[in-house]
Amino acid sequence: MARKIVWSYEATADLKTLAEYINRDSPSYAAAFVHEIRDASRSLREFSKRGRIVPEFAHTNIRELLVREYRLIYYIEKSRVVILGLIHGRRDLKSLWEKERSGR
């Protein structure tokens, strides 16, 4: 079943920030990386369960794809996949999540 891919505001902002950062050194690398991330997200239309369950949440519908050193985190719904965020693999997701929830 093909699902619709929806990017959250936060995930869109993550991708934009990352692209701007990479663009400082290499516009072509930044464009290629954004293309790679978008391709990975589009693959979830048909294969939404291909990513692993995010260990920090242990919820079967919250998954991630590893794209280079970044974690593309998403939530599977019945008819769509919501891209929740894009973070570097070395960042502490649990503390980022708690910080976001507390509004800091």
Q: What is the pLDDT tens value at each position of the chain, 104 positions in all?
A: 799 999 999 999 999 999 999 999 999 999 999 999 999 999 999 999 999 999 888 889 999 999 999 999 999 999 999 999 999 877 656 666 655 655 55
How many domains in the chain?
1
Residue found under tokens 């979830």:
44
Full domain range(s) for residue 47: 4-102
What pLDDT, on a 0 to 100 scale, did the predictor assign at position 88? 84
Entry pTM: 0.86
The CATH number linked to 26 is 3.30.2310.20
User: Which residue, among 92, 72, 91, has the nearest Cα to 83 in the 3D structure?
Assistant: 72
